[in-house]
Amino acid sequence: MFLRHTKRKKDGKEHRYWSIVENRRIGGGRVVQRPLLYLGEINDSQELAWRKSIAILEEGALQPRTLSLFPEDRCEGLLADASIVRLRLNELRLCRPRQWGGCWLALSLWRELELDRFWGGRLPPSRKGTRWDRVLLLLATYRLLAPGSEWRLHREWFERSAMADLLGEDLGLAEIHKLYRCHDRLLEHKQALFDHLVGRWRDLFNISFDVLLYDLTSTYFEADPPFAESDKRRHGYSRDHRPDCVQVVIALVVTPEGLPLAYEVLPGNTADNTTLRDFLARIERQYGKARRIWLMDRGIPTEVVLAEMRGADPPVQYLVGTPKGRLTRLEKDLLAKPWQQARPGQALAARWRTLCFRRQRQPRRQGAGNAATTAEMVVGAPQAALNDGAQPRGIADEARRCPSPCPSRVAPGRHRGSA
């Protein structure tokens, strides 16, 4: 193990950066160097700054004494000074290195969001002295820096991090049963947590929440049913291509910046098109009525829910993919034209919504024709053209075999030239 420095010239000056590395022998007799600890910039020209780099509080002293860090082989020409610590590289040992910077940043973010005060009043210490708010902070930091299982956090990660030093705790904070039991204490505060976070995001980032992204995903379990009647693990449509496993469906509403506003864990056999109405009502109750724009996949809303959104006060606007089976009559007119010629104001003007066509930038599979390289909002679709009856498959299948546009519906009130 030794100190290694790298040089870099910046603004005409030479900067030297130091790291502690060790040699590791690998296959083929080769030796590689593995960095263990990054020390940052330590240059000869920064001698005065070095002298303030270490503060030592000696036993019996009222004030700390500042010392400076110097490698032994770079002390030539320096004045004799008792405040200089000369580093002997041949006697250097690195004991229990821990990640500190990421843990410190996570703790700073936690306090900036005022989550320490929020959870401090809702997760009081137990009778045995367990600080549940700090257990939660540990779990959140772990998910942010190195997401994995609670077992890995208990066995490995806690010892390799500086969380014990930053929080003044020991290994008892990461006992495996505490990590698991902490989750059960959070669910009752879910609504209050989102209210608190939304308020902080408004204060910190001035977010308006006028555009919302709604989607669903699923996660499966390798477990054998049957389960209790109240258990949400069910067989359903598997996005993970594991129809043999039970699953739960997770619905999430986020802002374009990625900030979550609401979520729900649903039974694994929940159909996507049965979830939107409840989330619309939840967002309205939690954040009030506003002219919001919802973005979602074509399989999530139904025509009944879309009609309710258009008839709301104020109308709820949306951008959603149109099912291809309802575009047969439009395809006859659109596929025969260059896409640039399909413009608003022609024979396909919309009465209450707008169709947006996006050309694929690359062919979806080999053999497809060249696709356009730009996208444009083109044509309004009459309501009569989007009926719910059965449609012939021939034209729709032909459209899928060529680089056809990808249609989306826009709610009324939106400018046709904007997404």
Neighbouring residues of 173: CB distance < 8 A, sequence distance ≥ 6: 131, 134, 135, 138, 158, 163, 164, 167
pLDDT tens by residue, 161-178: 999 989 988 888 999 999
Neighbouring residues of 8: CB distance < 8 A, sequence distance ≥ 6: 14, 15, 17
**How many Cα atoms within 13 Å fall on the side-chain side of residue 210?**
4
223 burial type by CB count under 10 A (0-12 exposed, 13-18 middle, 19+ buried): exposed
Long-range contacts of 281-284 (CB under 8 A, 24+ apart): 283/212, 283/253
Give the mean model confidence (pLDDT) for residues 149-158.
93
- Least confident among 46-50, 61-65, 304-308, 357-361: 46-50
C-alpha 28/C-alpha 31 separation (Å) is 9
C-beta separation of 88 from 1 below 8 A: no
What does the pLDDT read at residue 295? 92
The number of angstroms, rounded, from the C-alpha of 245 to the middle of its chain's C-alpha atoms is 26
What does the pLDDT read at residue 370? 38
Is the model's pLDDT at 189 over the cut of 90?
Answer: yes
Length of the chain: 419
What does the pLDDT read at residue 82? 58
Is the model's pLDDT at 402 over the cut of 60?
Answer: no
pLDDT tens by residue, 373-396: 322 233 323 333 333 333 333 333
pLDDT tens by residue, 125-149: 998 889 999 999 999 999 999 999 9
Task: With H, G, I as helix, E, B as strand and everything else as coil, classify residue 384.
Answer: helix
What does the pLDDT read at residue 341? 55
Give the mean model confidence (pLDDT) for residues 191-219.
89
Q: What is the CATH architecture of 209-320?
A: 2-Layer Sandwich (3.30)
Share the mean pLDDT of the chain: 75
Give the mean model confidence (pLDDT) for residues 315-329.
78
- Least confident among 107-121, 262-276, 282-296, 385-399: 385-399
What does the pLDDT read at residue 363? 52
What does the pLDDT read at residue 369? 41
For the chain, which residues make up each domain, given as ranges? 2-91, 101-189, 209-320, 322-419
* pTM of the shown model: 0.63
